[in-house]
Amino acid sequence: MSVIIEIIKCIVLGLVQGLGEFLPISSSGHLLLFQKLFHLEEGGHLFTVLLHVATLAAVCVVYREQIIALIKKPIQWKTLWLIVATAVTACIMLIMKKVLPIDFDDANAMFPYLGYLFLGTSLMLLAGEFARYNIKRRLGSNDMKWYHSLIIGALQGVAVLPGISRSGATITGAFFCGIRKKDAAEFSFLLSIPAILGGAVLETPKIIKGDLGSFTWYGTLIAMIVAGVSGYFAIRFMLKLITKRNFDAFIIYTAALGLAILVYRLVTHLI
């Protein structure tokens, strides 16, 4: 792989990871889509984990004050709800990976389902918009009940499926629970921290056996920087979007993308 081509691929994958992790469009779904349609290799498991670490850094920078407050005062309801939601997420993810006979990291195996899953994200965001305007939002993170964290954690677990947006799922769940918009965003993004760390831990056996795939260390570093910076701005954008605007553009985008994939598959099967 030439240096220029590698840098371009790393920039593209970094942008996809950074923007897709926090915008309600599914980073994993887009990564698989790029792999399949544009012949871009995501790289080894270590490369993938490092991209997630970069987006994790973006969350920590944006929510550094809240994270420090949780560390200083860990005994509070918000901490408990984050733990409960994370535990539920882990259970759902492990069950799905055990029960569903599909390798979620295999672009060829997942591509037949990707269009339907993007449409699922579109419908989920549409439901979130309904909840935004029809369910009273009066709860803060510390006012949540145990079943609220179960709902949000379960939805994050379902988002292990490529094409289902993690941020879209958790924020939609928070809206249905009557959580205030700003608190819904905060809980969703803070919840991504243990989710990303847990995902890295689960990938450890593969990381030990694997490497960076077809990418070099300097290419990986570029991808990480792009993922971290784009992730930071994606979080900032989402905070403004949740409090002042709506998800209409993302509903249309994910629906159009899902339909385009289904049409593409139909046409290629007919040719």
pLDDT in tens, 106-130: 767 888 899 999 999 999 999 999 9
| Lookup: tokens for 176 | 């249905």
> Cβ of 125: how many Cβ atoms within 10 Å?
27
* Reduced 3-state DSSP string for 162-223: CCCCHHHHHHHHHHHCCECHHHHHHHHHHHHHHHHHHHHHHCHHHHHHCCCCCCCHHHHHHH
3 state SS for 50-70: HHHHHHHHHHHHHCHHHHHHH
Burial 220-244 (b: 16+ CB within 10 A, else e): bebbbebbbbbbbebbeebbebbee
| Residue 192 one-letter amino acid | S
Cα three-residue angle 178-24-40, rounded to 5 degrees: 160
∠ CA 86-258-22, nearest 5°, is: 35
| Confidence label for 1 from pLDDT (cuts 50, 70 and 90) | low
User: How many folded domains does the chain comprise?
Assistant: 1
The answer to whether the beta carbons of residues 140 and 179 sit under 8 Å apart is: yes
> Structural domain of residue 91, as residue ranges?
3-270
The answer to whether residue 27 scores a pLDDT higher than 60 is yes
Interatomic CA distance for residues 240 and 9, integer angstroms: 30
What is the per-residue pLDDT across 40-79, written as a single tens digit (0 to 9) for each? 654 556 777 788 889 999 999 999 999 999 999 988 999 9
pTM: 0.88
Cα–Cα dist 267/208, whole Å: 41
CA triplet 140, 164, 237: central angle to 5 degrees? 55
Residues 129-179 have pLDDT tens digits of 999 888 887 888 888 899 999 999 999 999 989 999 999 999 999 999 999
Q: What is the pLDDT of residues 211-254, one digit of tens each?
A: 555 667 888 899 999 999 999 999 999 998 888 888 999 999 99
Task: Return the half-sphere exposure (C-beta side, CA atoms, 13 A cut-off) of residue 135.
Answer: 18
